[in-house]
Structure 1
Amino acid sequence: MTDTGTNTQRIKAVVFDMAGTTVDEGKKVYDCVRKTLQKYDLYFSLDEIMESIGGMNKKEGIKKMMLLKWESATDEQLDEAAAIFTNMVEEAYRTSNSIKEMPGASDLFAHLRKNDVKVILDTGYARSTADLLISKMGWDDRNLIDFSVTSDEVSQGRPSPMMIEKALTHFNIDSAREVAKVGDTRSDVEEGLNAGCRYVVGMISSQYTEDEMLAMGATHAISSLGELKEIVTT
């Protein structure tokens, strides 16, 4: 874990990614992207998909992947593929018994809220998909999150900072220097940097090592959510 910043202001909010950061969904989202593309005879490995569109607005990501191999795809075909994906991933989430929160997520959320730090979720999912997962995790029922924003609620998803900016506006937070961003993908890190967040925390995983996260510009790289307590509230 590396810190390149100084703690001169209190952190008022932490913005968390969902899949791969606070929700362990077994990479179902990327498998559903892969299966959607296969319906159009477009074949990519999971690694290729994760590297290319990890953390992005999934509608934008599917269009990006389709156009890599099918430059003549029409807007109607691109929209159709995005709708197929949404139906597929939501059905996968509804019927799965294996989806769970990442270890320590609820405990961390409770700790942050006890210390008057807002818990915010931002995600490349559509609102309907995010709500399904939030409900499945029981976070709303237990009052563990303060706000969520999805990529279909802003004009540009990650790596644009618009979702973070929307959350800041909601809570009248004047500066992203009072905010930490946490995520497991390159687009998460770039979103936090583009927003000007004081802390940009990368989750170490099989996809990215600590050194790779720090090389992207993350101020910290952590292997478990519990490590964030020391970064944000001490």
Structure 2
Amino acid sequence: MSTSAVNTDIRLVVLDMAGTTVADDGLVERAFQAASDALGVEAGSPEHQRMLEHVRATMGESKISVFRHLFGAEERAQQANVAFEAAYHDLVDAGHCEALPGAAEAIAELRAQGRKVVLTTGFSRSTQDQILKALGWQEIADLTLCPADAGRGRPYPDLALTALLRTETDSVRQMAVAGDTGYDMLTGVRAGAAVVAGVLTGAHDAERLRADGATHVLASIAELPAVLAQ
């Protein structure tokens, strides 16, 4: 864990979902396989491998933005996104969706400390809502946001700043942003968050998280309440 000083007046905590508070367990890659199949990309081909590497590198980014990069034309990107979401929804419906250990307790503790908690995602609203329903998390946070709610997804600051505006938080320096990807870190940095915490339960390692601006690197989100309470 980083020993960086913590602003003791953190009033808003913006948390990523998949890989940070919700276990991914390869679901994104499995759903991407369905999307690439729908677009006629042969599994195991050099093109497929190149696309999969891009998906891994851009974990945390808005999924439609990823598909626009991979497939170019808007119609093809939308087709891939529809196939991705359908596959992801099927995986969630089949029971392949669970909270990371200590995540629900951490969210409850953060709120008990008097901080507002906002859950954010790179998924669409329908996918986000399905995950929240599967976990019974519809009321766990003060607010939930997807890219469509904010204008742009990660790595832009829009999700974090929208969380700040909607919770009527006074200053970006009263905000902490936490996630498992470099894109989460960039979002926090660009939004001016006082704490940008990377967790090692998801897509990217400590080196990538620090390179993209993490002020703290934690084993999991379960450590965050204690860090902010210091």
Q: Same fold (TM over 0.5)?
A: yes
> Could you tell me which residue of structure 2 aligns to residue 186 of structure 1?
182
- 1:23 partnered with 2:22: yes
Contact 2:119 2:143 in 1 (8 A): yes
Deviations 1:77-115 (A, max 9, x none): 2222222222221122112x2321011011111111111
Deviation of 1:205 after TM superposition, in Å, equals 4.1
Partners in 2 of 1:211 and 1:153 — Cα distance?
A: 31
> Could you tell me which residue of structure 1 aligns to residue 108 of structure 2?
110
> Could you tell me which residue of structure 2 aligns to residue 209 of structure 1?
205
Alignment of 1:155-170 (within 5 A): 155-170=151-166
TM superposition outliers: structure 1 runs of 4+ over 4 Å: none
Contact 1:55 1:124 in 2 (8 A): yes
> Could you tell me which residue of structure 1 aligns to residue 133 of structure 2?
135
How many residue pairs get matched? Answer: 224
Does the residue aligned with 1:44 lie in a helix, a strand or coil? helix
Partners in 2 of 1:206 and 1:77 — Cα distance?
A: 28
Partners in 1 of 2:144 and 2:172 — Cα distance?
A: 17
Flag the 1:50–1:82 CA change in 2: closer, same or farther, 3 A. Answer: closer
> Could you tell me which residue of structure 2 aligns to residue 101 of structure 1?
99
Range moving further from structure 2, 123-132 or 39-48? 39-48
Range moving further from structure 2, 159-168 or 39-48? 39-48
Deviation of 1:63 after TM superposition, in Å, equals 1.6
Partners in 1 of 2:28 and 2:221 — Cα distance?
A: 21
Please, what TM-score do these two structures have when normalized by structure 1?
0.88
Deviations 1:119-143 (A, max 9, x none): 1101101111101111111122xx4
> Could you tell me which residue of structure 2 aligns to residue 59 of structure 1?
64
Percent identical among aligned pairs is 29
Does the residue aligned with 2:49 lie in a helix, a strand or coil? coil
- 1:154 partnered with 2:159: no
5+ residue gaps, structure 2: 42-47
Corresponding letter in the other structure for 1:86: E
Please, what TM-score do these two structures have when normalized by structure 2?
0.89
Flag the 1:197–1:115 CA change in 2: closer, same or farther, 3 A. Answer: same
5+ residue gaps, structure 1: 68-73
- 1:91 partnered with 2:96: no
- 1:145 partnered with 2:141: yes
Corresponding letter in the other structure for 1:133: I
Does the residue aligned with 1:4 lie in a helix, a strand or coil? coil
Contact 2:19 2:202 in 1 (8 A): no
Deviation of 1:45 after TM superposition, in Å, equals 6.5
Flag the 1:174–1:86 CA change in 2: closer, same or farther, 3 A. Answer: same
Corresponding letter in the other structure for 2:61: M
User: Root-mean-square deviation (CA), in Å?
Assistant: 1.9
